[in-house]
A and B are shown apart, each in its own frame.
Chain A
């Protein structure tokens, strides 16, 4: 059977910053059918990076990949996967930039962009349909991502370009620096540091091509129906969204508080009330999304920057995690992260950790942050400035948690990271399913809690499930996430589409490639196996599939031995060896 070119552009843009050249390569049909796109493409392309490459060197690659559904009208389809070797653990990491950027990449006619090497001077990448240029960005150094966007739109005389850029933190290679686009969308996990290490300040993109779809009329009907079906799940007022979810998690004692010391924060209701009464502005949505979830709040200060997006993770990182009970400080802390370009969860996480170290008297004169303590907003805001600028204690804290843990004696018991990535959102003590999901996740996936309130994610909150049910729940959810992050579809869509068959249908209407739910499931397994194999290649193994000791030692927590049995069962369910190695030829 002959497949014509629908949906996919079948074009991969390779950018070599060392050689100052760009090149378009063909993407094979096999890659499309087996890896779908987005995270799937990334899980295959990541192997191009040399084994043991230093993440902050010219040998690392930065991969951007959209999915076949990105930028089509299919609701929830507006995301770009950014993937690379993270400086936090030298292993695979990815994050998703939702919003306009994905649509622009689709209209520029690229499925993926791979950025290699390192530029001699700070540059930005300017893509306009088929024209690609690497331009001098020295004028942009020191600017926040929001400022970069304004300057670049003026400079390029095009108000419609989409910009993804790093801030000062990325320029200085803070190891959890982030990349920001459209003022309110962020990808973290050290991806910003990788961009900074390549001297790449920004990626600018503009596309004006027609979409090439297999069955446009049926796709139109499909999309309209999904929009109408979403009506039942919508509740776009200030009481819904991430703040609502925080409140729910708090009420079932699953909201990690004070560096995971506790599972509920008594100030939550007061914070929510103040946020809603005095700071709520409006709700925005990503392109094609009928379930808007971007909650915008005012920032109260003279900086001139007026509003910030507060989602579950952001509220959690500086609110309950650091025990801050002043709304203004939480909003300001989040706004600073957008200004400097810092991963909010990593930042809030490491600060919460330091607050507990301080409390337990573990900090020496060198690492003493002065007044870092739970509930103190002034030292919180000051340390974020210091981290963003890599000065004072910020120089020490700009490194990965692994490094910091090593430097602070006896701090192992306070750590809250999985494979070097900060845990967040949902307390692992909530259930065995949550504990297992986090422990095996490659980069501390935060699709549990975090406002992703789907039927499946709620199942994780049920504490007493048998091992069989737990491992199957975790595996199926991970495979679902891999599929959605390859299409790319926002995780919220799970309940709207009601299962893989509808998603497979959308895929066929766009690409013309016949596929069903079973094919998608197999692709999900394939993608997760590849990520796993890459991490093993880079030296991660069964020892890294664990929770920090804090979670095994506490009362009521899972016992280590019991966890190991759970892990055995999970590996078996996945068809992996006892050491957790996929038996797949790649």
Chain B
């Protein structure tokens, strides 16, 4: 396999900026389901307590455990891209949902199928609408770089 220089992209929520407004959930559910049914939003706001809140979705893991767990090969992932579900091959065993530690893939109980973020074709709508610009779809390298600079600033004062 030829080595292609592709940067890993991630959809990340800056916990310092997220206000828990859930507008990402509204937009996602409408974009995917044509209705404001927040239980179907692929991105979910989780708050531990008033001091910590963030929006989480599929982590786009390398060697994704959900893909490995799928017994029929219904789930797949192209390199550096989103998880893809082949509905015809899916037997609704639920193993992908058990396998995911992040809660990124979950069960749609009205359509009886697992659902997961598909990045809206590389232009995630949640990141587009986020009023705080907390949600960003960017390269992992960039995120690491920014975090390193911010850590460095703290150390150097």
On A, residues with C-beta under 8 Å from B are 71-73, 75, 103, 107, 183-184, 208, 210-211, 213, 216-217, 220, 223-224, 227, 230-231, 234, 236, 281-292, 294, 296, 298, 306-309
Contact A288 B21 (CB under 8 A): yes
Q: How far is the CA of A211 from the CA of B49 in the complex (A)?
A: 28
Partner of B38, one of A103, A224, A285, A289: A103
What are 24 contact pairs spanning A and B, CB under 8 A? A71-B36, A73-B36, A183-B49, A208-B39, A210-B37, A216-B34, A223-B26, A227-B129, A231-B131, A234-B131, A282-B19, A285-B19, A286-B21, A287-B22, A288-B22, A288-B23, A288-B26, A290-B131, A292-B19, A294-B19, A298-B51, A306-B51, A307-B49, A309-B50
**Shortest 7 CB-CB distances between A and B: which pairs?**
A290-B131, A285-B19, A285-B21, A292-B19, A73-B26, A287-B22, A307-B51
Given the interface pairs A213-B36, A287-B21, the reply to whether A296 lies near B30 with Cβ below 8 Å is no
Q: B82-133: which residues lie under 8 A (CB-CB) from chain A?
A: 129, 131-132
Given contacts A73-B26, A184-B50, A224-B27, contact A284 B129 (CB under 8 A): no
Smallest CB gap from A308: residue in B: B50
Residue of chain A at shortest CB distance from B110: A210
- The closest CB in chain B to the CB of A306 belongs to B51
Binding site for A on B (CB under 8 A): 16, 19-23, 26-27, 30, 34-39, 49-51, 53, 129, 131-132
A290 touches B39 (CB 8 A): no
Which residues of chain A are near B35, meaning CB under 8 Å? 210-211, 213, 216
A287 contact set on B, CB distance < 8 A: 21-22
Q: Is the CB of A296 within 8 A of B51?
A: yes
Q: What 14 additional pairs, Cβ within 8 angstroms, besides A287-B22, A292-B21? A: A72-B36, A103-B38, A183-B49, A208-B39, A216-B36, A224-B129, A227-B131, A282-B51, A284-B19, A285-B21, A290-B23, A290-B131, A294-B50, A296-B50
Q: Are A284 and B50 in contact (CB under 8 A)?
A: yes
Question: Which chain A positions have C-beta within 8 A of B129?
Answer: 224, 227
Nearest CB in chain A: distance from B1 CB, A = 42
Cβ-Cβ contact count across A and B, 8 Å cutoff: 79
User: Are A284 and B53 neighbours in the complex by a CB distance under 8 Å?
Assistant: yes
Chain B residues in 8 Å Cβ range of A282: 16, 19, 51
- Give chain A nearest CB distance to B37 CB in angstroms: 5
Interface centre among A223, A236, A282 (most CB of B within 10 A): A282
Which of B16, B20, B26, B51 is within 8 Å of A285, CB to CB? B20
Which applies to chain B's interface (DSSP): helix, strand, loop or mixed?
loop
- Nearest-CB residue, chain A, relative to B30: A220
Chain B residues, Cβ within 8 Å of A75: 23
In the bound complex, residues from chain A placing their C-beta under 8 Å from that of B19 are 236, 282-285, 292, 294
Residues of chain A within 8 A of B23, CB atoms compared: 73, 75, 227, 288, 290
How far apart are A207's CB and chain B's nearest CB, in angstroms?
A: 9
Contacts of B27 in A (CB 8 A): 73, 224
Give CA–CA (A537, B34) in the complex, Å.
48
Q: Which of B22, B30, B37, B131 has a CB less than 8 Å from the CB of A230? A: B131
Residue of A nearest to B33 (CB): A210
Chain A minimum-CB-distance residue to B26: A73
If the complex has contacts A73-B30, A210-B37, A282-B16, are A307 and B131 also in contact, measured as CB distance less than 8 A?
Answer: no
| In the bound complex, CA of A515 to CA of B34 (Å) | 25
Q: Which residues of B contact A184 (CB under 8 A)?
A: 50
- Complex partner residue of A211 from B22, B37, B50, CB under 8 angstroms: B37
Question: CA–CA, A184 to B50, complex, Å?
Answer: 7
Q: In the complex, what residue of chain B is closest to A234 when comparing beta carbons? A: B131
Q: Which A residues touch B16, using CB under 8 A?
A: 282
| Contacting residues, chain B, for A294 (C-beta < 8 A) | 19, 50
Name A289's closest neighbour in chain B (CB-CB).
Answer: B21
Q: B26, B34, B49, B132: which contacts A292 (Cβ < 8 A)? A: B132
A290–B26 Cα gap in the complex (Å)?
12
Residue in chain B with minimal CB distance to A212 = B35
User: With A288-B21, A288-B22 in contact, is A306–B30 under 8 Å at CB?
Assistant: no
Query: Taking CB as reference atom, which chain B residue is nearest A281?
Result: B51
Min CB–CB distance B92 → chain A (angstroms): 19
Q: Which residue on chain B has the smallest CB distance to residue A293? A: B19
In the complex, chain B residues whose CB is within 8 Å of the CB of A291: 131
Instruction: Name the A residues within 8 Å of B131 (CB-CB).
Output: 227, 230-231, 234, 290-291
Write the nearest CB–CB distance from B24 to chain A, whole angstroms: 11
- Please report the C-alpha to C-alpha distance between residue A234 and residue B30 in the assembled complex, in whole angstroms: 25
How far apart are A424's CB and chain B's nearest CB, in angstroms? 23
Residues of chain A with a CB closer than 8 A to B39's CB = 107, 208
A228 to chain B, nearest CB (A): 8
B8 CB to nearest chain A CB (Å): 28
A288 vs B35: C-alpha distance when bound (angstroms): 15
Residues of A within 8 A of B53 (CB): 284
Contact assessment for B20 and A211 in the assembled complex, using a CB-CB cutoff below 8 Å: no
Set of chain B residues within 8 Å of A309, measured between Cβ atoms: 50
| A230–B129 CA distance with the chains assembled, in angstroms | 12
Partner of B30, one of A216, A284, A288, A292: A216
A20 to chain B, nearest CB (A): 31
Residue of A nearest to B31 (CB): A220
Residues of B within 8 A of A211 (CB): 35-37
- Measured CB to CB, the nearest residue on chain A to B25 is A287
A309, B20: Cα distance in complex, Å: 15
Q: How far is the CA of A329 from the CA of B143 in the complex (A)?
A: 40
Q: How far is the CA of A281 from the CA of B16 in the complex (A)?
A: 9
Enumerate chain B residues within 8 angstroms of A286, measured Cβ to Cβ: 21
Q: Hey, which chain B residues are within 8 Å of A290, CB to CB?
A: 21, 23, 131
In the bound complex, CA of A291 to CA of B21 (Å): 9
Neighbouring A residues of B20 by C-beta, 8 Å: 284-285
B26 to chain A, nearest CB (A): 4
